[in-house]
Amino acid sequence: MTFAAAVTERTRHLKTRLCVGLDPRLKAYRDVDHLRAHTLDVLEVTAPLAACVKPQLAFFEALGLRGFALLEEVCAAARLLGLPVILDGKRGDIGSTAEAYAQGWLGGPHAGDALTVNPFLGFGTLTPFVEAGRRNGGAVFVLVKTSNPDQADLQGHGVSERVAAEVARLGAEEDGEYAGVGAVVGATHPRDLAAFRALMPRALLLLPGLGAQGAAAADLAPAFHPGGTGALASASRAVQYADGLDVAASREAARRLRDELNAALG
């Protein structure tokens, strides 16, 4: 089963559109062992409430070799829990470098089921990632309209719409309910969601920014198709550090966000 099919089936079966982000920040812990234990505990308790999980690669890379080992452990644990994995790496480069990134993050030993990718070196740079995703039944989420305020410096003036058109074109090459080429559209842009949904009708939309960045579940309904599919709302700090390192609080935060998303969709 492809990533797009698996995450959509999980959305329908468990009635959840929540993507739990894992951002293991070393400064929050005594040491790497403490970080490892807490991160795996948060993954386990939130898995029944989530459609997928999104490890942020930067925090694992910052730990060096132990971080890569932990990332592999997190991905393996997620798969045992039936939870699709989006690696948030925002990779993007040219030629053989892009091919190497695609091989490592969509087909290597610490690969995810999906990867966020950066199109701003040109649309041709997406090809190795899209091809790797298709070979492995995975997916890519192309940055279209990111959640940070500074995105307007480069993503305004119709640029995001041009990227959205390319996402839609790539998705049209595939069969299935949803394509393996999705888009990152910040949940912090609620007034733009309906337009991007219309521009990319077969793309899964990854909506970062729920919780700590200020986005509210109640505003996200325009990103979804009837029946509540087609988008995944991501919360990281608001779940993993909902109340310090209290794992029970992480579970309750995930439950609350899941329920708020469901309520927003009626």
HEC profile for 172-233? CCCCCCCCCEEEEECCCCHHHHHHHHHHCCCCCEEEECECCCCECHHHCHHHCECCCECEEE
Candidates 78, 54, 63, 76; CA nearest to 33 is 63
pLDDT of residue 253: 97
Structural contact between residues 43 and 19, judged by C-beta atoms closer than 8 angstroms: no
Q: What is the pTM of this model?
A: 0.95
The residues carrying an active-site annotation are 90
Distance CA 163, CA 158 (A): 9
pLDDT of residue 48: 97
pLDDT of residue 134: 95
**What tens-digit pLDDT sequence spans the chain (266 residues)?**
899 999 999 999 999 999 999 999 999 999 999 999 999 999 999 999 999 999 999 999 999 999 999 999 999 999 999 999 999 999 999 999 999 999 999 987 778 899 999 999 999 999 999 999 999 999 999 999 988 878 887 877 789 999 999 999 999 999 889 999 999 999 998 999 999 999 999 999 999 998 777 789 999 999 999 999 999 999 999 999 999 999 999 999 999 999 999 999 97
212-242 burial, b if ≥16 CB within 10 A, otherwise e? bbebebebbbbbbbeebbbbbbbbbebbbbb
Q: Region of 221 please: left (phi>0), alpha (psi -120 to 50) or beta.
A: alpha
Distance CA 50, CA 36 (A): 20
pLDDT of residue 148: 80
Candidates 80, 143, 53, 71; CA nearest to 109 is 71
pLDDT of residue 108: 74
pLDDT of residue 146: 87
